[in-house]
Amino acid sequence: MIDVKNLVKVFTAKKGVLGHDAIEAVSHMSFSIPGGGALSLIGESGSGKTTVGRILAGLEVPTSGDIWIQRVNVMTLPPAERRTFLRQVQLIQQDPYQALNPARTIEQSLEDPLKVIARERGKNGAWIQSRVHEVLLRVGMDPGSVLNKYPHMLSGGQRQRIVIARALTVEPKVLVADEAVSMIDVSLRLGVLKLLKDLRQEFGISLFFITHDVASARYVGEDGQLFVIYKGQVVESGPTDEIISQPHHPYTQALLSAVPVLKGLEDPGPDRFIPLRGNDQEQVPDTACIYEPRCPFAQAKCQKERPVLQGAGHAYACHFPVVRRVVATMK
Ligand SMILES: Nc1ncnc2c1ncn2[C@@H]1O[C@H](COP(=O)(O)OP(=O)(O)O)[C@@H](O)[C@H]1O
Ligand SMILES: [Mg+2]
């Protein structure tokens, strides 16, 4: 399981000779994912999703906040210990080709992490071989036909399965999947999503699923939580099915409205609207709602006071929350 409290990440970008410009990429984010549970993070590009994922995987250091994995506070561990400990968190990125060494066979790529573990546990080469076979079978690949192949000889979907197999070699407690199927052929996506979903249950893995696609968040984690983020801030969070059926925040409604309707098969939700105005580059003062410049329902108060995330279970940061039915339904 994983618990995150008040996570903040500020990047300072050099801005010519005038000094520094700070971007708060992640703003006071808190969540917990039980073993076997799922949390999906949705939001458009630049909203801070990858930054959260990289922090969880130990690739980025947060500006402040705490992270507990299996009830150990990662932030209090000395750096060397932290690295070993964070092996329990494995990151599956967008591009499986970049994640694999093109000059090494699939067998070699899978053996590398296992050699480290074998040394630590006093296991031999036969153990490594059997683990390689085990993880390949688990991700639905035939060891006999892929062990000697190189990454370029596989399809995108197969490559992502290999990346997942490699993550499984270290028996992770948390998988962070960052747009893990967006570069894979549409026809192969569902299989990889099903694999991620099944691994939750089978190994009690906590899945942190980053996406800009509501449908895949729903598929891998309908029984889990959904966090909608806009410019680093959580604007709505709660049980996935509840947020999809009863979205309260206009930004969540805009994201849900963007899902295309299957013509002839589905009816658009009655409240579907042209979602966004303005642009996301606009600077918003701390005293205004972060979403005010783009919100079609903004009122005077939204410019004067920033709403806080409120509500137990299902929470939203909006002064004027109204449920709108924007999701298409089957005819
Ligand atoms: N290493 C970095 N240095 C400076 N700014 C960064 C860095 N990484 C990300 N950012 C900024 O942080 C914000 C969030 O980025 P990111 O986490 O990649 O968003 P997403 O994954 O949702 O597209 C963006 O404004 C991005 O430009
Ligand atoms: Mg990203």
pLDDT digits (tens, 9 = 90+) for 277-328: 667 677 888 899 999 999 999 999 999 999 999 998 999 999 999 998 888 7
Q: Is the pLDDT of residue 275 over 70?
A: no
Residue with the nearest Cα to atom 24 of ligand 1? 46
190, 272: one domain = no
The pLDDT score that the predictor gives to residue 20 is 60
Cross-strand partners of 226: 40, 238
Residue with the nearest Cα to atom 3 of ligand 1? 11
Residue 103 C-beta-side C-alpha neighbours within 13 Å = 0
Q: DSSP of 191-258, one letter per residue? A: HHHHHHHHHHHHHT-EEEEEES-HHHHHHHHTTSEEEEEETTEEEEEEEHHHHHHS--SHHHHHHHHT
CA distances from 327 to 13, 66, 133, 222, 236 (A): 39, 36, 43, 15, 16
Distance 164 CA to ligand 2 centre (A): 19
Q: Which of 245, 279, 297 is the last residue of a domain?
A: 245
Q: pLDDT tens, 113-164?
A: 999 999 999 999 999 999 999 999 999 999 999 999 999 999 999 999 999 9
The pLDDT score that the predictor gives to residue 19 is 56
Task: Indicate yes or no: pTM above 0.75.
Answer: yes
Helix (H, G, I), strand (E, B) or coil at 109: helix
Distance 320 CA to ligand 2 centre (A): 29
Residue with the nearest Cα to atom 12 of ligand 1? 25
160, 297: one domain = no
The pLDDT score that the predictor gives to residue 327 is 80
164, 255: one domain = no
114, 239: one domain = yes
Task: Compute the distance between CA of residue 120 and CA of residue 313 in angstroms, rounded to an integer.
Answer: 42
Q: pLDDT tens, 63-108?
A: 999 999 999 999 999 988 998 899 999 999 999 889 999 999 999 9
Confidence of residue 14 (pLDDT cuts 50, 70, 90): low
Residue with the nearest Cα to atom 16 of ligand 1? 48
Distance 145 CA to ligand 1 centre (A): 39
21, 55: one domain = yes
The enclosing domain of 175 has a CATH number of 3.40.50.300
Residue 49 Cβ < 6 Å to ligand 1: yes
Note whether 239 and 34 are within 8 A (CB). Answer: no
Q: Count how many domains the chain has.
A: 2
**Neighbour tally for 279: CB within 10 Å:** 8
The pLDDT score that the predictor gives to residue 22 is 85
240, 291: one domain = no
Strand pairing category for 38-42 and 225-230: parallel
Q: Which of 245, 262, 285 is the last residue of a domain?
A: 245
Residue 50 Cβ < 6 Å to ligand 1: yes
Cross-strand partners of 64: 8
Residue 273 Cβ < 6 Å to ligand 1: no
User: To the nearest whole percent, how much of the chain has pLDDT over 90?
Assistant: 77
254, 236: one domain = no
**Neighbour tally for 74: CB within 10 Å:** 22
